[in-house]
Amino acid sequence: MQAVYATGIDTAEPLGVLEVGERPEPTVPHGWTRVHVRAASLNHHDLWTLRGVGVREEHIGTPLGTDAAGVTDDGREVIIHAVLGSAGPGEDETLAADLHLLSEAGVGGTHAEVVVVPSRNLIPKPPELSWAEASCLPTAYLTAYRMLFTRAQLRPGDHVLVQGAGGGVATAAIILARAAGLEVSVTSRSETKRAQAHALGANTVLEVGGRLPGRADAVIETVGAATWDHSLKSVRPGGVIVVCGATSGGDPPAQLARLFWRGLSILGSTMGTRQELEALVRMLLQTGARPAVDSEFALHSAHAAYTRLASGEAFGKVVLQVS
Residues 8 and 33 both lie in one domain:
yes
Residues 69 and 38 both lie in one domain:
yes
Give the pLDDT mean for 20-37.
Answer: 97
Report the pLDDT value the prediction gives residue 56, as an integer from 0 to 100.
Answer: 86
Indicate the pLDDT class of residue 21, thresholds 50, 70 and 90: very high
Residues 45 and 86 both lie in one domain:
yes
In a domain, 236, yes or no: yes
166 vs 111, more confident: 111
Report the pLDDT value the prediction gives residue 244, as an integer from 0 to 100.
Answer: 96
Report the pLDDT value the prediction gives residue 194, as an integer from 0 to 100.
Answer: 95
Residues 219 and 114 both lie in one domain:
no
E strand or H helix at 21: strand 18-22
Residues 149 and 261 both lie in one domain:
yes
Task: Express each pLDDT in 245-282 by its tens digit.
Answer: 998 899 999 999 999 999 999 999 999 999 999 999 99
Which residue type occupies 184? V
In a domain, 78, yes or no: yes
Residues 208 and 179 both lie in one domain:
yes
Residues 20 and 125 both lie in one domain:
yes
Contact present, 180 and 148 (Cβ < 8 Å): yes
Residues 160 and 67 both lie in one domain:
no
End-to-end Cα spacing for the chain: 12
DSSP bridge pairs for 220: 162, 242
In a domain, 282, yes or no: no
Task: Express each pLDDT in 291-319 by its tens digit.
Answer: 999 999 999 999 999 999 999 999 999 99
Report the pLDDT value the prediction gives residue 58, as an integer from 0 to 100.
Answer: 85
The helix-helix angle for 191-200 and 168-179 (nearest 10°) equals 30
Whether 111 shows a pLDDT value over 90: the answer reads: yes
Reference 64, options 15, 118, 5; nearest CA is: 5
Residues 253 and 161 both lie in one domain:
yes
In a domain, 281, yes or no: no
Residues 131 and 43 both lie in one domain:
yes
| DSSP sequence for 292-303 | -EEEEEEGGGHH
93 class by beta-carbon count within 10 Å (0-12 exposed, 13-18 middle, 19+ buried): buried
Report the pLDDT value the prediction gives residue 176, as an integer from 0 to 100.
Answer: 98
Angle 271-275-281 (CA atoms, 0-180°, nearest 5)? 85
Domain span holding position 173: 140-268
Whether 88 shows a pLDDT value over 90: the answer reads: no
d(C-alpha 124, C-alpha 181), whole Å: 26
In a domain, 183, yes or no: yes
In a domain, 63, yes or no: yes
Residues 152 and 257 both lie in one domain:
yes
Torsion, CA 68, CA 62, CA 19, CA 35, rounded to 10:
-30
Whether 54 shows a pLDDT value over 90: the answer reads: no
Count: domains in the chain: 2
* Domain stops at, among 268, 283, 303: 268
Whether 323 shows a pLDDT value over 90: the answer reads: no
Cα 123 to Cα 69, 241, 276: the distances in Å are 10, 30, 11
Report the pLDDT value the prediction gives residue 35, as an integer from 0 to 100.
Answer: 98
In a domain, 283, yes or no: no
Q: What is the pTM for the complete model shown?
A: 0.96
Give the pLDDT mean for 77-90.
Answer: 92
301 class by beta-carbon count within 10 Å (0-12 exposed, 13-18 middle, 19+ buried): middle
Indicate which CATH number applies to the domain containing 150: 3.40.50.720
Residues 148 and 122 both lie in one domain:
no
Indicate which CATH number applies to the domain containing 12: 3.90.180.10
Q: C-alpha 11: how far from its chain's center?
A: 22
The secondary structure of residue 210, as a DSSP letter, is: P
Report the pLDDT value the prediction gives residue 275, as an integer from 0 to 100.
Answer: 97
> Rounded mean pLDDT of the chain?
96
Task: Express each pLDDT in 140-180 by its tens digit.
Answer: 999 999 999 999 999 999 999 999 998 899 999 999 999 99
Give the pLDDT mean for 222-239.
Answer: 96
d(C-alpha 233, C-alpha 316), whole Å: 28
